[in-house]
């Protein structure tokens, strides 16, 4: 199969449409060709007139670790072009930044999750391109989580840098498909096109979203493998809690939780009693870790590791958002007074609890904290929103 960048590099008729134009590239460390050459180097080597580049959250180099750790603008030492940060002084391209090119190539590997900020970066680029009369091309890449949809829709008025629009946590789209929906949903007058992939079949084995003949490159420091990408639509919610998501270990965001004061085996048993069907599609294994930094640094944590991989993975059964919600509910039932929700500035939102920012509203937190609420109540909320989203995105799907 071919990703969008590989088609652009190998099809001269596509590249010819960039002749005489100044080109900018939005990229990160996973913006590589099939031969693992970075897209910036490959495009310039092919004679494309690249006049600037942009780095999203974590930077073009992918060296910045966490929430609200910013990247500065710089000049590329090899090519001598400006590299603008979209996670520093600004998160939306300025007019001066937009003036550096005529066509903007968006080549970011995504994880298929609303909170992964590259989705919002795409929206902001499209909006500014519409104002400035610029073209945007998405060089499409796989959604490694495939096409499944899961979670409640973001509530209008709850938008943030991790909540661009009313979509569920696991949105089921590629960036190319997402851009098509953004253009229609926000009524953007922008010249937009998708350089489509060839041969990508979401929902089919053996890769179920991520082709097994392509090397996984971290699109951000803690996105180390496909297992993480599959689990992320659930485990990212741990960022809004006092529970460790495994930062400071070799397998971040692949655990349902880690804490020095929570009995993981008891939590798993409670989850199995409450909603056994929500545990399908993966295997949960009790483990221990001691984070070298971040939450519970230097403390021994008991945890549950998620294995949505190998023979344990069932693409059509795995529901990471529900799985994570159930872990929270089990902890709340076992430890009613546990201080679970972390109150701190999250992605430039200072007046809302982080867990509510992450979920695009308070419904999940309220369900966890309501002693009378059961899994069926959350299922009812999510099922209706998921069905509505599938209907919404149907006209924008390219590969299904």
The predicted structure's pLDDT at residue 65: 66
- DSSP reduced 3-state for 74: strand
What CA–CA distance (Å, rounded) separates 214 from 34?
Answer: 7
Helical segments of the chain, H only = 4-10, 12-16, 39-45, 95-98, 118-132, 175-185, 226-235, 264-274, 320-334, 354-359, 363-369, 375-393
By mean pLDDT, which of 141-150, 204-213, 245-254, 353-362 is the weakest? 204-213
What CA–CA distance (Å, rounded) separates 382 from 169?
Answer: 10
Q: What is the mean pLDDT of residues 27-40?
A: 97
Beta partners for residue 161, in sequence order: none
Element (H, E) at 50: strand 50-55
> Mean pLDDT in the chain?
96
- DSSP reduced 3-state for 69: coil
The predicted structure's pLDDT at residue 116: 96
Flag whether pLDDT at 380 surpasses 70.
yes
Q: What is the mean pLDDT of residues 363-381?
A: 98
pLDDT tens-digit series, residues 295-343:
999 999 999 999 999 999 999 999 999 999 999 999 999 999 999 999 9
Catalogue all structural domains in the chain, each as residue range(s) with its CATH number: 4-219+391-396 (3.40.50.12170), 226-369 (3.90.1150.140)
Residue 163 falls in which region: left (phi positive, over 0), alpha (psi -120 to 50) or beta:
beta
Phi/psi at 90 (nearest 5 deg)? Answer: -135, 160
The predicted structure's pLDDT at residue 395: 98
**Of residues 72, 372, 73, 14, the one with CA closest to residue 193:** 14
What CA–CA distance (Å, rounded) separates 236 from 226?
Answer: 15
SS (H, E, C) 296-347: CCCCCEEEEEEECCHHHCCCCCCCHHHHHHHHHHHHHHHCCCCCCECCCCEC
Q: Which tokens go with 91?
A: 């998160």
Flag whether pLDDT at 99 surpasses 70.
yes
Flag whether pLDDT at 264 surpasses 70.
yes
**Of residues 132, 134, 178, 111, the one with CA closest to residue 24:** 134
Q: Which tokens go with 28?
A: 């990160």
Neighbours of 362 (CB within 10 A): 15
Q: Which residues of 179-211 are buried (b: 16+ CB within 10 A; e: fewer)?
A: bbbbbebeebebebebbbbeebbbeeeebbbbb
The predicted structure's pLDDT at residue 76: 92
pLDDT tens-digit series, residues 170-179:
999 999 999 9
Whose tokens are 């056994």? That residue is 276
Neighbouring residues of 115: CB distance < 8 A, sequence distance ≥ 6: 162, 163, 169, 236, 358
Element (H, E) at 25: strand 23-26
Flag whether pLDDT at 59 surpasses 90.
no
The predicted structure's pLDDT at residue 206: 87
How far does CA 284 lie from the centroid of its chain?
22
- DSSP reduced 3-state for 113: strand
Q: What is the mean pLDDT of residues 92-121?
A: 97
Q: Dihedral of CA 117/119/122/123: which sign? A: negative
Phi/psi at 63 (nearest 5 deg)? Answer: -100, -10
pLDDT-derived band at 400 (thresholds 50, 70, 90) equals confident
Flag whether pLDDT at 265 surpasses 80.
yes
Q: What is the mean pLDDT of residues 227-254?
A: 97
By mean pLDDT, which of 56-70, 249-263, 353-367 is the weakest? 56-70
Percent of the chain with pLDDT over 90: 93
The predicted structure's pLDDT at residue 234: 98
């Amino acid at each position: 199969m071919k990703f969008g960048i590989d088609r652009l590099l190998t099809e001269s008729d596509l590249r010819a449409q960039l002749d005489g134009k100044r080109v900018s590239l939005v990229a990160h460390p996973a913006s590589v060709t099939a031969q693992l050459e970075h897209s910036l180097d490959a495009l310039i080597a092919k004679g494309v007139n690249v006049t600037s580049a942009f780095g999203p959250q974590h930077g073009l180099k992918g060296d910045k670790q966490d929430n609200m750790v910013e990247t500065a603008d710089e000049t590329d030492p090899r090519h001598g072009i400006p590299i603008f940060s979209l996670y520093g002084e600004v998160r939306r391209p300025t007019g001066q930044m937009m003036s550096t090119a005529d066509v903007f190539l968006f080549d970011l590997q995504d994880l298929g999750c609303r909170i992964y900020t590259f989705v919002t970066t795409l929206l902001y680029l499209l909006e500014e391109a519409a104002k400035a009369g610029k073209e945007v091309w998405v060089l499409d890449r796989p959604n490694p989580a495939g096409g499944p949809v899961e979670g409640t829709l973001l509530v209008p008025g709850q938008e943030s840098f991790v909540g661009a629009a009313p979509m569920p946590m696991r949105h089921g789209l590629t960036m190319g498909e997402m851009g098509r929906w953004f253009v229609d949903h926000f009524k953007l007058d922008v010249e937009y096109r998708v350089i489509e992939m060839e041969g990508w079949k979401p929902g089919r084995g053996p890769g179920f979203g991520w082709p097994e003949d392509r090397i996984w490159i971290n699109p951000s420091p803690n996105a180390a493998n496909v297992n993480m990408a599959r689990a992320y639509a659930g485990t990212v919610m741990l960022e809004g809690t006092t529970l460790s998501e495994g930062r400071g270990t070799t397998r971040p965001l692949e655990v349902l939780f880690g804490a020095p004061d929570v009995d993981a085996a008891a939590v798993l048993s409670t989850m199995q009693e409450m909603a056994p069907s929500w545990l399908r599609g993966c295997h949960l294994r009790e483990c221990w870790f001691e984070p070298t930094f971040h939450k519970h640094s230097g403390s021994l944590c008991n945890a549950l590791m998620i294995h949505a991989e190998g023979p344990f993975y069932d693409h059509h059964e795995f529901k990471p958002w529900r799985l994570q919600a159930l872990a929270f509910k089990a902890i709340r039932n076992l430890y009613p007074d546990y201080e679970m929700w972390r109150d701190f500035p999250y992605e430039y939102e200072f007046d809302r609890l982080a867990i509510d920012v992450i979920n695009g509203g308070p419904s999940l937190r309220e369900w966890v904290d309501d002693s009378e609420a059961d899994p069926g109540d959350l299922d009812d909320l999510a099922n209706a929103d998921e069905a509505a989203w599938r209907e919404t995105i149907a006209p924008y799907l390219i590969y299904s």
